[in-house]
């Protein structure tokens, strides 16, 4: 029997046993645990975090929507299928696509029966925005008072009522395997030391690796550890490491969700996380330290973010807008948020003065002049760095109309920003029963996975702009149920 850590450190009297062991108490974890308990299994769940604002619930605190390609899960199957193919450029594996669509309706019904309430695709009730300064613990829109958090707390309570057990502050260290590679449990560690949890089946529901600097550099880019990361403190890639140690197949490990632009001040002021600057960047222009445009702004952060990470412009660029853009309905609230929470906003009556204030090169005025000329003549797509008249619509796989505007009406504004990672997509590959596969494509006996651990299975690949944004919570829900049902049958 294989364990990677010295047996001398193990506390034998703490050894535990169960039918189904769930690793991770995010969203897929409680779903899988409750479903396994409903199926008659003795269930233990472990999570390395203490029970607090972040747990149970995981990344649900940031992503409080339930959808498949921005469609509610009760939509006709053919509509869900079309949406998933569109938003992954057809790269969603066919067998997993069929399993996702065919289980969407009953998963939606199951969640409603277990306390889920919705207003369209959003959990109900819900705060009006996602700015961390407002939604954090004690904030005026504290998400602990919203539907998704109440739901996960309710699932935990239902698990306990069914005789399940949750061990917080208990870290999974590695899988315990038998002579044929079958998973027999995990080695875990709590405040007293290391101990073994024996299990007939293990369901991996761990998070991503967004807080693991070494993994970010290895998989995403040489400077990826320096971008802003808005992920919970649990996202250290433990599940990925454990899976790789037993030869689990992974997919899209280099794909991270560069989902939004953040004020540079978010590096040291977490209240600014969630104060997204996507709309100002889309309507304005983005320049480098020399004051030159280097990217088509309408491509959005999912493309611009990786580009910045893999080039010398890895950390900082500037969004340039004028007074007209600043007062647009989708831009004004973002700039107001920036100001309210102390983000840097340079304002000047001339572009030359703006460049001096912002610390960019004197080429800014010339850049804007050339850009305005192209807008006036309708030739922005012919610039050395083109700007499209359409914008990439996250989650749809399509472009949507977006008028290109001159930057001509002072005062002028410059916002230093950095691209940010919300989560990572890569993960283990599973089949339609949520069994984890090895590199030969064979199931690893007794090992199942769901949630963020399997996003690599369903995403569109590293170079696809739509990425894995098929709907985090929907994948957690659907594959949480599938994994639990398969694990309980084993």
Whether residue 200 has pLDDT greater than 80 = yes
For residue 5, what pLDDT band results from cuts at 50, 70 and 90? very low
pTM summary value: 0.90
The rounded distance, in Å, linking the Cα atoms of 416 and 406 is: 20
Answer with the residue of higher pLDDT: 234 or 397. Answer: 234
The rounded distance, in Å, linking the Cα atoms of 485 and 490 is: 9
Neighbours of 191 (CB within 10 A): 6
> Residue range 231-258: average pLDDT?
89
Whether residue 415 has pLDDT greater than 50 = yes
Whether residue 191 has pLDDT greater than 80 = yes
> Residue range 455-461: average pLDDT?
77
Question: What pLDDT score does 1 carry?
Answer: 44
For residue 465, what pLDDT band results from cuts at 50, 70 and 90? low
Question: What pLDDT score does 300 carry?
Answer: 84
Instruction: Tell me: cis bond preceding 125? Omega within 30 of 0 counts.
Output: yes
Whether residue 173 has pLDDT greater than 50 = yes
Question: What pLDDT score does 398 carry?
Answer: 43
Chain segment 43-52, per-residue pLDDT in tens = 999 999 999 8
Whether residue 404 has pLDDT greater than 60 = yes
Whether residue 193 has pLDDT greater than 90 = yes
Q: Is the dihedral of CA 241, 247, 250, 253 positive or negative?
A: positive
Whether residue 285 has pLDDT greater than 60 = yes
> Residue range 200-213: average pLDDT?
94
202: left (phi over 0), alpha (psi -120 to 50) or beta: beta
Whether residue 210 has pLDDT greater than 50 = yes
Calculate helix-pair angle for 28-38, 472-489, nearest 10 degrees.
30
> Residue range 352-376: average pLDDT?
96
Question: What pLDDT score does 109 carry?
Answer: 98
For residue 4, what pLDDT band results from cuts at 50, 70 and 90? very low
Whether residue 207 has pLDDT greater than 60 = yes
**What are the structural domains, with CATH classification, of the chain?**
7-254+425-489 (3.50.50.60), 257-422 (3.90.700.10)
Specify the range with the lowest mean pLDDT, choosing from 146-155, 218-227, 232-241: 218-227
The rounded distance, in Å, linking the Cα atoms of 436 and 431 is: 7
Whether residue 463 has pLDDT greater than 90 = no
Q: Count Cα atoms within 13 angstroms, Cβ side, for 123.
A: 26
Answer with the residue of higher pLDDT: 249 or 310. Answer: 249
For residue 28, what pLDDT band results from cuts at 50, 70 and 90? very high
The rounded distance, in Å, linking the Cα atoms of 411 and 229 is: 32
For residue 396, what pLDDT band results from cuts at 50, 70 and 90? very low
Nearest CA among 447, 453, 437 for reference residue 239: 453
Question: What pLDDT score does 395 carry?
Answer: 44
Find the DSSP H helices in 39-177: 77-87, 94-113, 132-135, 147-161
Question: What pLDDT score does 220 carry?
Answer: 84
For residue 403, what pLDDT band results from cuts at 50, 70 and 90? confident
> Residue range 469-481: average pLDDT?
91
Q: What are phi and psi of 25, to 5 degrees?
A: -120, 45
The rounded mean pLDDT for the chain is 89
The rounded distance, in Å, linking the Cα atoms of 253 and 217 is: 11
Question: What pLDDT score does 85 carry?
Answer: 87
Question: What pLDDT score does 391 carry?
Answer: 56
Chain segment 302-311, per-residue pLDDT in tens = 778 877 877 6
For residue 215, what pLDDT band results from cuts at 50, 70 and 90? very high
Question: What pLDDT score does 337 carry?
Answer: 97
Secondary structure of 100-134 in HEC code, one letter for each residue: HHHHHHHHHHHHHHCCCCEECCEECCCCCCCCHHH
Whether residue 284 has pLDDT greater than 60 = yes
Residue 121 to residues 69, 242, 260, 276, Cα–Cα distance (Å): 10, 34, 20, 20
For residue 421, what pLDDT band results from cuts at 50, 70 and 90? confident
């Amino acid at each position: 029997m294989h364990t990677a850590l010295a047996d001398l450190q193990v506390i034998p009297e703490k050894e535990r046993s169960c039918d189904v062991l769930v690793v991770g108490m995010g969203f897929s974890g409680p779903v899988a645990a409750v479903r396994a308990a409903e199926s008659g299994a003795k269930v233990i769940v472990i999570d390395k975090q203490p029970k607090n604002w972040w747990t149970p619930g995981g990344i649900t605190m940031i992503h409080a929507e339930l959808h498949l390609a921005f469609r509610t899960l009760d939509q006709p199957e053919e509509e869900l299928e079309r949406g998933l193919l569109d938003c992954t450029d057809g790269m969603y594996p066919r067998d997993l696509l069929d399993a996702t669509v065919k289980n969407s309706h009953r998963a939606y019904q199951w969640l409603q029966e277990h306390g889920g309430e919705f207003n369209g695709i959003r959990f109900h009730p819900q705060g009006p925005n996602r700015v961390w300064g407002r939604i954090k613990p004690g904030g005026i829109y504290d998400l602990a008072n919203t539907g998704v958090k109440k739901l996960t707390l309710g699932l935990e309570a239902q698990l306990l009522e069914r005789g399940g057990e949750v061990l917080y502050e208990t870290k999974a260290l590695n899988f315990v395997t038998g002579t044929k590679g079958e998973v027999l449990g995990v080695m875990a560690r709590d405040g007293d030391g290391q101990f073994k949890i024996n299990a007939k089946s293990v369901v991996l529901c761990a998070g991503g690796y967004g807080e693991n600097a070494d993994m970010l550099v290895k998989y995403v880019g040489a400077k990826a550890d320096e971008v802003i990361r808005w992920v919970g403190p649990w996202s250290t890639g433990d599940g990925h490491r454990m899976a790789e140690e037993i030869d689990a197949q992974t997919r899209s490990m280099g794909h991270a969700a560069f989902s939004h632009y953040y004020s540079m001040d978010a590096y040291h002021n977490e209240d600014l996380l969630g104060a997204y600057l996507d709309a100002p960047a889309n309507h304005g222009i983005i320049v480098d330290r020399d004051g030159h445009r280097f990217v088509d702004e309408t491509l959005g952060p999912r493309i611009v973010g990786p580009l910045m990470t893999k080039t010398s412009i890895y950390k900082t660029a500037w969004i340039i807008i004028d007074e007209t853009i600043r007062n647009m309905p989708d831009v004004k609230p973002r700039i107001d948020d920036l100001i309210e929470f102390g983000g840097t906003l340079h304002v000047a009556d001339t572009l030359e003065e703006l460049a001096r204030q912002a610390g960019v090169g004197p080429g800014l005025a010339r850049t804007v002049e050339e850009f305005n000329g192209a807008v006036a003549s309708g030739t922005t797509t012919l610039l050395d760095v083109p700007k499209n008249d359409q914008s990439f619509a996250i989650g749809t796989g399509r472009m949507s109309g977006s008028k290109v505007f001159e930057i001509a009406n002072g005062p002028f504004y410059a916002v230093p920003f950095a691209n940010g990672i919300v989560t990572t997509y890569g993960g283990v590959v599973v089949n339609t029963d949520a069994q984890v596969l090895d590199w030969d494509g064979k199931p690893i006996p007794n090992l199942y996975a769901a949630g963020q651990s399997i996003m690599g299975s369903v995403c569109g690949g590293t170079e696809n702009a739509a990425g894995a944004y098929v709907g985090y919570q929907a994948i957690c829900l659907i594959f949480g149920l599938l994994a639990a049902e398969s694990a309980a049958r084993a």
